[in-house]
Structures are given as structure tokens and as C-alpha cells.
Amino acid sequence: MTPGYLYLLQNPLYGAYVIKIGLTTREPDVRARELYVGSSGVPVPFEIATAYSVGDCKLAEKQTHKRLAAYRLNRGREFFRTSPAVAAAIAYDTCTKINDHLGLLPPEVFKIDKTPPHLPTGLRDKNAKSVAEAFDGKMELVDPFTLRYSPLGTSTLTPEQLDRVEILKMHLSRLYPGHMEEILSSFSRDTTPEKEIKIWEHITKAYLTIEQVEFASDDLRHEAFVLLLARSWSSTNEVLNSYELEHFSPKSAKRLLQAYELRPMPIVVRSRREYKFQQAD
């Protein structure tokens, strides 16, 4: 057991949604300064987004990295593409559970002697285009909000899978208010929930490259999500050739689509009336 801190660091050059999550047995600001001074590859200093005291910082780091594994940018580095607020919530929750198990007080937040980094406020509630409407008939798509699903309980999610679904909800809850809870609560309807969760995690990881842009409009963010949803079952070229861009340039749309790391898994429509579907293996 190693007492210390679990810290979340940001760097202005990496973007607001690239978070370094690590541990230290000393003051977090000392560690943040070391990462800058000790590396010629870091042009500007790191900033502490937040840090929490914990009775076992090695275990806290390991468990937090595991919970956010889908958003890791490089397995050999401690950087994650995630909302700062989501990362902080997961880190605090992990530290709280560890301290409780060890019979310790709840984590204390490390006091930072400066104004904390600005956290994006996210999307405002609005009614966005459906996926099918957005493609205007150029590609035969199925709107995920109108699908008829298998019965709940088709599959049983493990505690780890349930935690991953909750993290997805945290990242996407403001994107389609009133719909996202319904969509992401239905993983137990899937016969292959692990595959479906993985697809949504990769969509979300790519989408967060847009979410972090503070001046991005709501329409741009919704179009980004629609493009990535289509990318999950089509190639980048197929999506670009079929979709009439409204808010993206072809170059920026291609860059967004290339951020999706899985191969396409096409949707197979079994019945046009019933909207039953499955994703091909």
C-alpha cells in the first residue's frame, strides 16, 4: 500500500480533452513541474486539472486506467482522450472506494494556487436531425432512435461492462438529450454486448476530438456524431461520398472519420417495417 495522490494533468498544446492520469507520492505540483523540466519534448508546462489524496495511489492509478482504457491514446503512455469532468469523476470515485475499503476518510482535493482550467460546458438541449434525415436518402441508413430492439435481458452485462456504459453516458449525455439514456441503457438487449460497447467507445473517443473545441457549434457536434455513427458501419470514403456535408469541410470530415480506429461493421437490415438489425461480424 502506497499513500499518495492520483493526479490529472493537462497541457495547453495537447487540447482540453487530452488528460494525463498518473500517481505521485509527493505534491502533485512538484510532479507536474518535473514532467516539464525533465523532458525536452514538452514545450510548455503541464497544468494540474485536479488531484486526489488516496491511501493506495498505485492501485488508484491501475483501476482508473482500467476504467478509462477505451479512451487511452497509447498503451505505453498515461494519456487519455476524455472530458476533464468525466476523468475527474472516475478518478474521485476510484479513490473514494479505495479509501473506504482501507477505512480512511474520503479523498481530499489538492489545492491549486491558480484558477483551474476552463472546462467546456458541452451541448445545449436541442432537437437534432435523425441519422436517416441527415443522409437525405443518399445512403440507406437506419435511425438508431427508431429501432425495435430485442427484449431487455437478452444479455447480462458484467459489472465492468456496466461501468463502461455509465462512462459512455457521462461523455454523451448532452449530445442527444432524451435519447442517449435510452440507447445506452439497451446494451442488455444485444446478443453481443461487448462488441456493441466497444463500437460506441470508439465512436465516443473519436467524437471527443470535436467536443473539446470550445467554439464548435451544436450543429457541428451533432454532424460529427452522425458521421462517426455512419463510419462505424462504412468506410471513410463511403461516408464522404454519400453524405452532403453542412458544417464540415471535406478535409476536416475526413480527419474526423480517420480518428475512428475500428474497421467498419456493416448494419444488416432484416425487415424495413420492423427496423430489426444486426451488425455483421
pLDDT, tens digit, for every residue of 146-194?
A: 434 445 445 678 899 989 999 998 998 778 766 666 766 677 767 778 8
Same structural domain for residues 172 and 232? yes
Is 62 part of any domain?
yes
Same structural domain for residues 170 and 221? yes
Is 116 part of any domain?
no
Q: Which of 44, 38, 46 is nearest to 18 (CA)?
A: 46
pLDDT at 130 (0 to 100):
37
Residue 74 CB partners (closer than 8 Å, separation 6+): none
Looking only at the bridges linking them, the beta strands covering 18-24 and 4-10 are antiparallel
Work out the angle between the directed axes of helices 193-211 and 159-172 (0-180°, nearest 10): 30
Same structural domain for residues 139 and 95? no
Residue-number span of the structural domain to which 160 is assigned: 131-279
Highest mean pLDDT among 56-60, 74-78, 210-214, 239-243: 56-60
Is 113 part of any domain?
no
215 pLDDT band (50/70/90 cuts)? confident
Instruction: Examine the fold and report which residue of 101, 122, 148 is the final residue of a domain before the chain moves on.
Output: 101
Is 108 part of any domain?
no
Please tell me the pTM assigned to this model.
0.77
Looking only at the bridges linking them, the beta strands covering 47-54 and 79-81 are unpaired
Residue 162's CB is within 10 A of a number of other CB atoms, namely: 14
pLDDT, tens digit, for every residue of 237-280?
A: 999 999 999 999 999 999 999 999 999 986 543 433 443 444 44
pLDDT at 3 (0 to 100):
96
Same structural domain for residues 156 and 212? yes
Same structural domain for residues 176 and 263? yes
Question: Distance between CA 41 and CA 256 in Å, rounded?
Answer: 26
Is 122 part of any domain?
no
Same structural domain for residues 137 and 269? yes
Same structural domain for residues 144 and 263? yes
HEC string of 120-134? CCCCCCCCCCCHHHH
- Answer yes or no: is pLDDT of 144 > 90: no
Same structural domain for residues 83 and 151? no
Same structural domain for residues 84 and 166? no
Same structural domain for residues 186 and 232? yes
Q: Which of 262, 271, 268 is nearest to 280 (CA)?
A: 268
Same structural domain for residues 266 and 185? yes
pLDDT at 155 (0 to 100):
63
Q: How big is the CA angle at 207 (ends 204 and 209), to the nearest 5 degrees?
A: 125
pLDDT at 45 (0 to 100):
87
C-alpha atoms less than 13 angstroms from C-alpha of 133 in its C-beta half-sphere: 8
Question: Distance between CA 250 and CA 252 in Å, rounded?
Answer: 6
pLDDT at 181 (0 to 100):
67
Domain count, the chain: 2
Same structural domain for residues 95 and 173? no
